[in-house]
Structure 1
Amino acid sequence: MSISVVLLGEQESMVRQIESYQGELIVTRVCSEIAEAVAACLTAGAEVLLIADAQQVPLMEQVDELLSQGTAVVYLLDGSAAISPMPEVLQLPADIAMSDLEQRITATVRSLKLPEGSPERDDRETADLEPRDKGRIVSFWSAPGSPGRSTVALNFAVEAAAAGRSVVLLDADTYAASISIQLGLMDESASVAQICRIMDSGSADISRLNAACSLVQVGDTTIRVGTGIPRSSRWPEVRPSALRRATLAFKDHYDLVVLDVAPHIALDEQLSFDTQAPQRNAVTVEMLGCSDDIFMVVQSDSVGIPRALRAIDELEESHADLQPKIIFNRVSVSRSGRSPKRRLIEAWDRFGPMHDVVGFLPNDSAVCSASVLAGSPLLEIAPRSSLRMEIRSLAGIKSSNLPKKRVSRRFSKSA
């Protein structure tokens, strides 16, 4: 087995070392410019881009493009080089022995050829990481329409934070971001766009990611909120792979990362372009793919349920490994008839796919309207409402120690 290598950087000594070692690595081209090296890898299908010059650092967008086609990216760094650690990129000391270099590169190339999500690939990707407790990523998804997904996601995050967990809430809805409005944050800076720019710069510094978010006080606790894109024309600023890396970085430092994602998952935007183009729906697909739990919010009426069934069919056709958990929202006698929970379960068992139903949220339009009007979550505007109790239960929190009075909030941009 031979591994084709494109070398970036005029390092004749490295070429001589690889050739004299006579192992599996074969240098097919030496490039002095980043654009030349990336183009050589993409057109010739090279298996490895070996970067021997610390001054030649490709953009993360270029790195993602190489990784997507199965080209491993390897940095050889000397002791003085200062490059932020980047996930999915192999970084090795410049004085590494050729036997170790070939072994590490071979293992990386083989791991890229394994199917996404396979246990072997996951083991290789985490082999060099120090053992540590990580948080969980929870996504809230729905069929097209307005089933109340953002309201549920927001209050789920608030209840988890009130229970003592450290929480980050990211509005990844590229069609109709609304978390900032529901919290009274009239800020058009779009935190998720700033977060993606930080990741694209090659940095995964959690302090910079925190600074891009708004720190929101809710009751006696706080949550970090990454506000979404307020204008649809700006959605190409959110690169799916960059947001995925940022989400995983938050997961390393927080107990819970809550995502509010758009309903659409069809990746058909590239049909309108002759070259690679940003894909709006790819954000949803990436976020669902990296989630530990996926909650699908379903509006419990004759319109919402058929929409949900069609959305799940579409999800299973393209991403059969994703298993959303069902939450019926706006449950009421007027929408579902007498004994609404029983009727919904019967209808889902008869027509729905084999996905667990984990929650029934009551229809409380008056409370929800008051919450939006005040720019406050249910914990503050209606702490004893039945809707809040159900969301607390959904988050695994017992309905005890409820606040006796409303506590005011203040918003601040984190330092």
Structure 2
Amino acid sequence: MTQVLLAVDFEFDLILFELLSEVDDVTIVARPADEVELLALCRTGSADVVIVGQYFPGLDAQVIASILATGTAVLGFGNDTAALTALGISTSVPSNADAETVAQALNDTRDSTVVPPRPIAPPGSASGQGHIVTVWGTGSSPGRTLTAVNLGDDGARQGHRSVVVDADTVAAMVATTLGLTEESAHLASLCRLEAEKAPPLDVSGVPRAAIREDFHAITGLTRPDRWPEVRASVLTAVLARLAKMFDLVVVDVSDRVDPDDDFADPFYDRHCATRAALDAADTVLVLAAGDPIGLQRLVKLLGTDRVESLGSRMRIGITKVRSSAVGHPAEGRIREVLSRFVRRDPDFIFSEDRVTTDAAMLAGHTLHEENPKSVLSQEYAAAVAELLPARKRSRKTGSGRRVKSL
């Protein structure tokens, strides 16, 4: 006897129910209303197979992965095989299939060995042509947003078409840092388009602020309580799509990464966006402030399973470096501490430059726009050059800008 859950589009629900009623050895356990009820049933081991339709409420790749993780098999039902495959469903039947075809597919799906789907692209960067850099780090404000914005700006000045994505679901600050006064959440709009399966096909359709022709910003949430609009699986798809349109995608995220409630569903917590951005990144830049508290927090962070899972994708950046905080010479002292406790040197050192930083923040400028000769501005430029292969510099690198919201 095959236990089945029906999670299909409303128009096919009754048709499939009547169809399966004619099949021997098949029992329909339940017909859940949305993905929350569906996952709850799967986690209790209620069924052998779930039949899902492309437009079932709340369905996405993350939900399919969660179903498969419970040991429940998944059979797709619908005519858009490509869309079902993109969700992670390897087997499907068309909506006009007869009872015998559906019954055979159920048996095959139940008895088959679950294997990962064949990749649609050869091994390599999962993000396509572009390079995704996620700027993460410890608490105590090490300057994640400042770093993300200036990496994007310097990337554009070195010939890379760049976009900064504000995926901080706690305190989105990219718009403020760049002096953007509009009250629009570009990332929420982009996630909505992706969830509705109407994503932009090129840069012209991406909701964004065009700082310059080669430098763009996707602003974050206008209110922190809007975090449910940025779901992990949707954000993953958004970043992969942006990496096909831009050479450099810099993602600014919160320092918070684990659920606020240990007993909450891990797929629907506030900080799932941070985890998705870390998983999607080609490079994760872990920042810490160059003072005793910041370094202590970094040592603790580097000992976590989360950081160890990053492997070779992780780079370490120490910000706000100054001798008054750690002694002279500051860089030598910092390297000594990290070598002693984590046996690793920092990849980047970013000096404290309060004068330039304050002036840039007040004017809504990047550091290069405010003072291209500042030490900190040059350090960010050097970091970009190390992270990405050099390209011909853009001629449009003047301090003047024409911000246009699209």
Same fold (TM over 0.5): yes
Taking a change above 3 Å as real, the CA distance of residues 287 and 361 of structure 1, as seen in their structure-2 partners, is: same
Within a 5 Å distance, the mapping from 1:373-412 to structure 2 comes to: 373-396=362-385, 406-412=398-404
Taking a change above 3 Å as real, the CA distance of residues 328 and 106 of structure 1, as seen in their structure-2 partners, is: farther
> Contact conserved, 1:371 with 1:377, CA < 8 A, in 2?
yes
Partner of 2:150: 155
> What code does the residue aligned with 1:244 have?
T
- 1:298 is paired with a residue whose SS is strand
Q: Equivalent of 1:328, from 318, 335, 342? A: 318
> Contact conserved, 1:392 with 1:399, CA < 8 A, in 2?
no
Q: Distance in 2 between matches of 1:392 and 1:232?
A: 31
- 2:339 is paired with a residue whose SS is helix
Shift of 1:346: 0.7
> What code does the residue aligned with 2:217 have?
V
Within a 5 Å distance, the mapping from 1:263-342 to structure 2 comes to: 263-269=255-261, 271=263, 278-313=268-303, 316-318=304-306, 320-323=308-311, 324-342=314-332
TM-score when scaled to structure 1?
0.77
Q: Equivalent of 2:62, from 61, 64, 70? A: 64
Partner of 1:240: 232
Query: Deviations 1:299-328 (Å, cap 9, x if unpaired)?
Result: 111121112222333xx2356312432111
Q: Distance in 1 between matches of 2:77 and 2:267?
A: 31
- 1:250 is paired with a residue whose SS is helix
> Contact conserved, 2:29 with 2:47, CA < 8 A, in 1?
no
Taking a change above 3 Å as real, the CA distance of residues 410 and 302 of structure 1, as seen in their structure-2 partners, is: same
- 1:50 is paired with a residue whose SS is strand
Query: Deviations 1:129-152 (Å, cap 9, x if unpaired)?
Result: 899943222111111111111111
- 1:156 is paired with a residue whose SS is helix
TM-score when scaled to structure 2?
0.78
Shift of 1:89: 4.1
> What code does the residue aligned with 1:175 have?
V
> Contact conserved, 2:128 with 2:240, CA < 8 A, in 1?
no
> Contact conserved, 1:86 with 1:204, CA < 8 A, in 2?
no
Partner of 1:251: 243
- 366-375 vs 203-212, which deviates more? 203-212
Within a 5 Å distance, the mapping from 1:104-253 to structure 2 comes to: 110-111=114-115, 121=116, 124=117, 126-127=119-120, 133-207=128-202, 210-217=205-212, 221-253=213-245
Unaligned runs of 5+ in 1: 20-25, 112-120
Partner of 1:346: 336
- Pairing 1:29–2:21 present: no
Shift of 1:74: 4.3
- 1:189 is paired with a residue whose SS is coil
The number of residue pairs the alignment matches comes to 384
> Contact conserved, 1:60 with 1:201, CA < 8 A, in 2?
no
Unaligned runs of 5+ in 2: none
Taking a change above 3 Å as real, the CA distance of residues 354 and 99 of structure 1, as seen in their structure-2 partners, is: farther
Q: Distance in 2 between matches of 1:399 and 1:212?
A: 26
Query: Deviations 1:32-68 (Å, cap 9, x if unpaired)?
Result: 775499375555444543346x7xx213357633431
Taking a change above 3 Å as real, the CA distance of residues 87 and 249 of structure 1, as seen in their structure-2 partners, is: farther
Q: CA RMSD in A?
A: 4.0
Q: Distance in 1 between matches of 2:91 and 2:208?
A: 29
> What code does the residue aligned with 2:136 have?
W
Q: Percent identity?
A: 24
